[in-house]
Amino acid sequence: MSEDTDDEGGAAGWSREAAVDRLVELVDTVERERMPVPVREVWVTGDLVLGVDPVERLEVYLTKDLLFGDEPEREAAFRESHGIRGVGETVSAAWAEEHPEHLRANANGHAAPEQCLAAHLFGDEPVHLEVCNTGFENNVTQRLRGARAREDYGQLLDPRAACLWVDSEDGGVRSDEAFRKLREGEFVFPTLSKALEMLEMDPEEAETAAGQLHARRRERDGRTVRGDVV
C-alpha cells in the first residue's frame, strides 16, 4: 500500500541552519511525546543532505512499527465521535485521546498513521514525509524493484540520505555527527544518476530514472505525505 498526497498549503523554504534546527526539534518531539504509532528511525534525504542552502523543502523518512491493537470499545467511541475507524487498531487510542486534533483518516475513513504523524509533527511547512514499516535502506531497494517493474521511476526513494535518530532499548540514539555535517554541508554524495548506478542500474536507465524523480519532486508543493507498508 502506498499513498502520496498533498495536504496543507506551502510556505517559504528554509535556510540550511533553520532546516537543521527544525530537524532537531523533530527528533526532540519523537523522543519526548507519544506518537500515533511507535517511530523507530528518523532519516533526512533531499537537498539538505546535498548541502543546498537555502532548502526549498525538507524530505524526511520515518520508520514505524505496525500497530495491531485490540481495543474495540475505544475504536467504536472514536468512530462515533470523529467518524474515523481504526483508532486503537492502526493508531494508538491513547495518542488519539491526547491529540484528537491531529487524528486523520484515509479516503476510506480509516485512521491513517502517516497522515496522523504528519499532522502531529508538521504544520503547513514545506515538507515531504515518507512513512514506512521497513527501514530506509530496505525500502530504497523495494521501491527500486517496483519502479523498474512498472517503468515508473517517479516513486523511487533517493538513496542519498542520513540517519539522524534510531530507537533503542535504552532510549533514542541521536547522531550528533550527522547533525554537524548537515549544518556544515559536509556530506559528500554523487549525483542522483550515479547513486542509482551504484544500485546496479545501467547508466542510461539511471539517467532516465533520475530525470523522472527530479520531475516528481518539482510537482510537489506544501506538505506532502506518502505511507508504505511492505
Any domain includes 108: no
Answer yes or no: is pLDDT of 7 > 70. no
Any domain includes 153: yes
What is the pLDDT confidence band of residue 70, given thresholds at 50, 70 and 90? low
Measured CA angle at 72 (ends 70, 75), to 5 deg: 105
Any domain includes 175: yes
pLDDT per position as a tens digit, 127-173: 999 999 999 999 999 999 999 898 899 989 999 999 999 998 877 89
**Residue length of the chain:** 230
Answer yes or no: is pLDDT of 72 > 80. no
Would you say 226 and 2 are in contact if contact means Cβ atoms under 8 Å apart? yes
Residue whose C-alpha cell reads 514499516 in the numeric block:
133
Say how many domains are in the chain. 1
Helix (H, G, I), strand (E, B) or coil at 216: helix
pLDDT of residue 11: 43
pLDDT of residue 12: 56
Any domain includes 45: yes
pLDDT of residue 13: 78
Any domain includes 110: no
Sheet containing 39-45: order of strands? 2-6, 224-228, 127-132, 58-64, 39-45, 161-166, 173-174
Q: What percent of the chain has pLDDT over 70?
A: 93
- For residue 137, the enclosing domain spans 2-67+127-228
pLDDT of residue 9: 36
Any domain includes 117: no
What is the pLDDT confidence band of residue 221, given thresholds at 50, 70 and 90? confident
pLDDT of residue 81: 85
Any domain includes 88: no
Mean pLDDT along residues 11-25: 88
Any domain includes 190: yes
Would you say 50 and 160 are in contact if contact means Cβ atoms under 8 Å apart? yes
Helix (H, G, I), strand (E, B) or coil at 176: helix
pLDDT of residue 107: 92
Residue whose C-alpha cell reads 545501467 in the numeric block:
202
Answer yes or no: is pLDDT of 75 > 50. yes
**Which one has a higher pLDDT value, 229 or 29?**
29
